[in-house]
């Protein structure tokens, strides 16, 4: 699905990613755990194509295509999705309009027919029901005045509608209480399939009790310092980052 | 005390006016014998306007109220006498009369209001364009809605001014007690023309006027408009102006809340490009208590265009419990785009709620990236965000047909940017 090779990235002249190597085959869920400042969010933004990051070395192959050469919208059309750690509030843009515009923009780029208002509404309401999102959300401006939990649910809703091949969840658990966390995790789990891969970025092991990863990576100082099975997350939780990172280095 | 303060003649104040800029029009007036004829009140009005014009000329940037908009030189090209504007109205209830039919023998109220000076402009010594309109006062419309009449269907007036000409239309609108009216003005002046309009409005007790203007004149046209509104007890005046047209425009509104519990809401959207210059100057004067007023401007400016918003809320000592807000937001889409904002509050009452704010900025990176990460092209994302920026004003417009035509116009404008 995605192969990241020796990825180096800097922001404002400061090196953040210092050689990431990571390959995620189709159908697998990988988790990246790491302390604050280890480069977790930078990795997610570089993959999604945000401006301001200087990729000085390395390559990312996404299903045979050069991901780093594509604009953010082309990456979305190619099947990449980033669930934001801090979803952006957009006053004046209604959620329904946003979702429909996004879906049809992606469908157009994928060479699929656009959905009309009725078909779109049917689709979005089904997905919203599954995620326990009330219909009134459609009339609200995107993320404006929404709680942390509502915003994260909206992210998963967008993912469910856009049906990506590969989704990066950037700290989707932060700020969620346990009930919201379960709903979000169930939403993600329902999208798991042999054709779809996930990269779950988190600070805490807790999320991984609900979204069971196949592989866990530990990111520190801009490098992946250890890779293992799900048990690695528990080990990390018990020892704490400081000790763990110290040992590994 | 200094010598200068004792004797102002030692250092006389520099003349802020440029009288010579009015000479051309004074001469055109003097050459037109028909204009110098007429009933005594009309002669008095025109000659007082002539005196004003000869003393002050046309507005230049030397005047504080015109510091962002240097007007006089723009209209140098108009050397012929003003001609009547081509006014076409849609008037389902037969409310509209031609001013020209009323001038020789007007009803008392009409004579009175036509003879009035906008007090506010007089205070600032800024009645030049009004005077010019009075000097050539001839054509225009009178809309008099009797007490208790709620007009269902909007009155529409289409203004058209031909290339190379100047027109000075006057509108007088009166709503009797409890009357209701929606008035839609569409301005589509052609070529290098000049509209110098004056509109005088009285909204009677408990009456309600919704006043929409869609100004989409030719990019070389000049559009200056003075509107004076008086609001009586419990009256409501809502105005909305969409400015997409004219190379140079000054839209000036003065509202006077004369009696208690009146509401005045002034909204506008400016979409400016090329080398357009659009100035909105609004002043709401609260002379009585429990009044509500708001000013809301949204401007989208690109290329080398220049927007100006000067807004003022003046609250007199007796106007307690006044609630006044004022907000101007501008979005600059290019390096050369410019916005000047001057929000002012002048408050003499002690129990009021007044707020003002102004922002000028560019589209933010975070929402743009968020939308692009969901598959929208940069262009689509920008359009969606700009649309959202102006929609807040469009959404609250009340009249559905106006809302639709404004939305369509906004969409068209945005599409043309690409």
How far out from the chain centre does Cα B95 lie? 23
Q: Which of B185, B163, B167 is nearest to B82 (CA)?
A: B167
Q: Which residue of B269, B327, B370 to mutate against A (max A Cβ within 10 Å)?
A: B370
**Inter-chain contacts counted by CB atoms under 8 A, chains A and B:** 77
Side-chain half-sphere exposure of B140, counting CA atoms within 13 A: 26
For range B8-24, the mean pLDDT: 76
Q: Average pLDDT over chain B, rounded to whole?
A: 93
Distance CA A18, CA A6 (A): 8
For range B377-402, the mean pLDDT: 90
For residue A248, give how far its alpha carbon lies from the nearest alpha carbon of chain B (Å): 35
Q: Which of B172, B159, B390 is nearest to B268 (CA)?
A: B390
Q: Which of B260, B265, B257, B264 is nearest to B233 (CA)?
A: B260
Please give the structure tokens belonging to residue B321: 């419990």
SS3 assignment, position B255: strand
> Which of A48, A52, A98 lies at the smallest CB-CB distance from B373?
A48
Please give the structure tokens belonging to residue B267: 């909204």
Distance CA A10, CA A210 (A): 33
B125 pLDDT band, cuts 50/70/90, is confident
How many CB atoms lie under 10 A from the CB of residue B199?
A: 22
Q: What is the pLDDT of residues B302-357, one digit of tens each?
A: 999 999 999 999 999 999 999 999 999 999 999 999 999 999 999 999 999 999 99
Residues ≥6 apart with Cβ < 8 Å to A71? A49, B372, B377, B378
**Helix count (H) and strand count (E) of chain A?**
9, 12
A79: alpha, beta or left? (left if phi > 0; alpha if psi -120 to 50)? left
Cβ–Cβ below 8 Å for B375 and A88: no
How many CB atoms lie under 10 A from the CB of residue A178?
A: 8
SS3 assignment, position B389: helix
Cβ–Cβ below 8 Å for A92 and B374: no
Cβ–Cβ below 8 Å for B371 and A90: yes
For residue A105, give how far its alpha carbon lies from the nearest alpha carbon of chain B (Å): 6
Gyration radius (Cα) of chain A, Å? 18
CA angle (A224, A227, A228) in 5-degree steps? 160
Side-chain half-sphere exposure of A215, counting CA atoms within 13 A: 17
Nearest chain B alpha carbon to A161: B374
Distance CA B405, CA B269 (A): 13
- Residue identified by tokens 């993600």 is A188
Predicted local confidence at residue B1, as pLDDT: 45
Cβ–Cβ below 8 Å for A73 and B377: yes
Nearest chain B alpha carbon to A49: B373
> Which of A72, A89, A91 lies at the smallest CB-CB distance from B369?
A72
- Residue identified by tokens 């990312």 is A60
Q: Please report residues of A whose CB lies closer than 8 A to that of B387.
A: 92
Between β-strands B96-98 and B140-145, what pairing exists: parallel, antiparallel or unpaired? Answer: antiparallel
For residue B331, give how far its alpha carbon lies from the nearest alpha carbon of chain A (Å): 14
Please enumerate residues of B whose Cβ is less than 8 A from a Cβ of A.
365-367, 369-378, 380, 384-385, 387-389, 391-392
Q: What is the pLDDT of residues B227-271, one digit of tens each?
A: 999 999 999 999 999 999 999 999 999 999 999 999 999 999 999
Distance CA B340, CA B405 (A): 28
> Which of B366, B367, B375 lies at the smallest CB-CB distance from A76?
B375
For residue B404, give how far its alpha carbon lies from the nearest alpha carbon of chain A (Å): 17
Distance CA A137, CA A182 (A): 20
Contact A208, A233 (CB under 8 A): yes
User: CA torsion sign, B231 to B237 to B240 to B241?
Assistant: negative
Q: Please report residues of B whose CB lies closer than 8 A to that of A158.
A: 374
User: CA torsion sign, A91 to B400 to B247 to B58?
Assistant: negative
**How does pLDDT run along chain A (249 residues), one tens digit per residue?**
999 999 999 999 999 999 999 999 999 999 999 988 899 999 999 999 999 999 999 999 999 999 999 999 999 999 999 999 999 999 999 999 999 999 999 999 999 999 999 999 999 999 999 888 999 999 999 999 998 889 999 999 999 999 999 999 999 888 788 888 888 899 899 999 999 999 999 988 889 999 999 999 999 999 999 999 999 988 888 888 888 777 765
Residues ≥6 apart with Cβ < 8 Å to B224? B71, B129, B194, B195, B196, B197, B249, B250, B252
Distance CA B342, CA B322 (A): 21
Predicted local confidence at residue A56, as pLDDT: 92
Q: Which of B350, B330, B326, B327 is nearest to B340 (CA)?
A: B330
Q: Which of B245, B310, B309 is nearest to B274 (CA)?
A: B245
Distance CA B120, CA B188 (A): 29
SS3 assignment, position B129: helix
């Amino acid at each position: 699905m995605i192969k990241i090779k020796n990825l180096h990235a800097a922001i404002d002249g400061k090196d953040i990613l210092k050689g990431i190597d990571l390959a995620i085959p189709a159908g697998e869920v990988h988790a990246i755990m790491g302390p604050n400042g280890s480069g977790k969010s930078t990795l997610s933004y570089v993959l999604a194509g945000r401006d301001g990051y200087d990729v000085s070395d390395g390559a990312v192959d996404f299903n045979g295509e050069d991901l780093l050469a594509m604009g953010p919208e082309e990456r979305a059309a190619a099947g990449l999705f980033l669930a934001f750690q801090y979803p952006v509030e957009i006053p004046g843009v209604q959620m329904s309009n946003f979702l429909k515009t996004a879906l049809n923009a992606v469908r157009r780029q994928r060479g699929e027919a656009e959905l009309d208002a009725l078909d779109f509404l049917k689709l979005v309401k089904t997905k919203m029901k599954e995620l326990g999102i009330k219909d009134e959300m459609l009339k609200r401006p995107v993320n404006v005045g929404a709680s942390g939990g509502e915003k994260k649910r909206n992210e998963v809703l967008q993912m469910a509608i856009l049906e990506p091949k590969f989704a990066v969840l950037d700290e989707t658990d932060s700020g969620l209480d346990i009930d919201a966390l379960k709903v979000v995790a169930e939403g993600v789990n329902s999208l798991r399939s042999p054709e779809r891969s996930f990269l779950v970025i988190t600070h805490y092991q807790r999320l991984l009790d609900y979204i069971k990863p196949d592989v866990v990576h530990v990111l520190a100082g801009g490098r992946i310092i250890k890779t293992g099975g799900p048990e690695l997350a528990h080990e990390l939780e018990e020892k704490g980052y400081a000790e763990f990172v110290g040992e590994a280095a | 005390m200094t010598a200068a303060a004792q004797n102002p003649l030692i250092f006389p104040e520099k003349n802020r006016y440029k009288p010579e800029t009015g000479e051309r029009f004074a001469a055109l007036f003097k050459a037109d014998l028909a204009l110098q004829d007429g009933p005594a009140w009309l002669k008095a009005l025109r000659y007082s306007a002539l005196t004003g014009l000869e003393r002050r000329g046309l507005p230049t940037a030397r005047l504080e109220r015109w510091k962002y908009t240097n007007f006089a030189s723009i209209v140098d090209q108009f050397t012929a006498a003003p001609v009547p504007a081509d006014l076409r109205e849609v008037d389902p209830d037969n409310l509209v009369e031609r001013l020209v039919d009323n001038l020789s023998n007007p009803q008392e109220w009409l004579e009175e209001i036509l003879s009035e000076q906008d007090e506010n402009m007089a205070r600032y010594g800024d009645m030049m364009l009004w005077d010019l309109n009075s000097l050539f006062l001839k054509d225009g419309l009178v809309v008099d809605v009797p007490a208790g009449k709620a007009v269902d269907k909007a009155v529409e007036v289409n203004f058209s001014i031909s290339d190379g000409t100047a027109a000075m239309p006057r509108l007088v609108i009166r709503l009797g007690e409890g009357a209701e009216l929606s008035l839609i003005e569409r301005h589509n002046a052609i070529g290098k023309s000049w509209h110098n309009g004056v509109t005088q409005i009285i909204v009677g007790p408990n009456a309600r006027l919704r006043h929409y203007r869609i100004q989409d004149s030719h990019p070389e046209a000049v559009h200056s408009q003075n509107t004076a509104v008086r609001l009586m007890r419990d009256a409501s005046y809502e105005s909305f102006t969409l400015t997409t047209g004219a190379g140079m425009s000054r839209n000036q509104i003065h509202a006077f809340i004369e009696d208690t519990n009146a509401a005045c809401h002034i909204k506008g959207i400016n979409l400016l490009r090329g080398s357009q210059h659009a100035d909105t100057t609004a002043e709401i004067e609260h002379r009585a208590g429990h009044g509500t007023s708001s000013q809301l401007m949204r401007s989208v400016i690109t290329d080398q265009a220049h927007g100006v918003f000067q807004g003022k809320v003046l609250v007199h000592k007796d106007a307690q419990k006044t609630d006044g807000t004022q907000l101007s937001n501008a979005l600059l889409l290019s390096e050369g785009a410019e916005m000047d904002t001057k929000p002012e509050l002048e408050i003499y009452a002690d129990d009021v709620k007044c707020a003002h704010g102004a922002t000028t900025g560019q589209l933010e990176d975070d929402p743009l990236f968020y939308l692009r990460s969901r598959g929208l092209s940069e262009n689509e994302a920008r359009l969606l965000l700009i649309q959202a920026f102006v929609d807040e004003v469009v959404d609250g417009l009340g009249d559905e047909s106006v809302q639709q035509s404004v939305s369509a116009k906004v969409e068209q404008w945005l599409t043309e940017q690409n």
